[in-house]
Amino acid sequence: MSLKEQQNLLARLYTDSDLREKFFAEPDKIGFDFNLTRREIAEIVEIAPQELDFFAESLFWKRLREAEKFIPLTVKILGCDFPPLFRQFSQTFNPQTVRKHLEDALEFCRFLQKGEVSEIALNVALFERTKIEFFGYGKRLAFCKLAFEIEPFLADNRTENLKRKQKFAVWIKLGNKTRHFYI
């Protein structure tokens, strides 16, 4: 038995729901792609699918809960669209550093820029992404160009009547002091 090949497949099954579905539909096909023998495939097939699914789901929700701590405003503005969007994102990205949750949050904001979310949500995500880059990665200067005045949303989560206006949100570190302003 080759535990290494089995673990390669398991790690993917735990983190990729599409592959999980395909595996349970055609275990041999996927198993052979991972260089498993029939017997090794059978050992994974024997795992109760509902147990495997539940474990994978628990991993997904843990990951989401950790990432959302870094992007509370983006989560708020996306509302119930956040979990399905994060699920889509999670299939495409596997964080590799020790700061995996921060990395997830940052990449999720980048991922949103490619998707179909409202322009205001894009602005909020861009704002938080820049903030993460500044605080999380020790930059001395970070800024982003916003298309809306998002301050009312930052203050009390109000999204109505946000004015369209180009602004730069800026974070700068001078000595030990951090300044944040708009121009």
Partner 1 sequence: MKENNRISKTEDQRPKTRIGLGFREPFRADIFLNQDKIDFLEITTDHYLDAKPEKIEELKLLKEHFPLVPHSLELSLGSAEGIDEDYLEKIAEIVEFVKPEWFSDHLCFTRSGGVKIGHLAPVPYTDESLKVFVRNISKVKKRISAPFILENITYLMQFPSSQMRESVFISKLLDETDCGMLLDVTNLYINARNFGFDWRRFLDEIPLERVVQLHFVGLHKHKNLLIDAHADKTQNEIWDVFGEVVKRCDLKGAILERDENFPPFNEILEEIETARNIISNEFEGTAKPVGAALHG
The residues that touch partner 1, with contacts defined as CB under 8 A, are 1-4, 6-8, 10-12, 14-15, 43, 46-48, 51-52, 54-55, 58-59, 62-63, 94-100, 138
Contact residues for 91 (Cβ-Cβ < 8 A; gap 6+): 16, 17, 18
Q: Looking at beta carbons only, is 12 or 76 nearer to partner 1?
A: 12
Distance separating alpha carbons of residues 67 and 61, to the nearest angstrom? 10
Residue linked to tokens 């909020």: 124
Distant-in-sequence contacts of 95-100, Cβ < 8 A, 24+ apart: 99/136, 100/66
Q: Looking at beta carbons only, is 100 or 167 nearer to partner 1?
A: 100
User: In the bound complex, what is the minimum distance in angstroms from residue 122's beta carbon to partner 1?
Assistant: 26
User: In the bound complex, what is the minimum distance in angstroms from residue 5's beta carbon to partner 1?
Assistant: 8
User: In the bound complex, what is the minimum distance in angstroms from residue 54's beta carbon to partner 1?
Assistant: 5
Q: Looking at beta carbons only, is 16 or 149 nearer to partner 1?
A: 16
User: In the bound complex, what is the minimum distance in angstroms from residue 14's beta carbon to partner 1?
Assistant: 5
Q: For the chain, give me the number of helices (H) and strands (E)?
A: 10, 3
Q: Looking at beta carbons only, is 66 or 149 nearer to partner 1?
A: 66
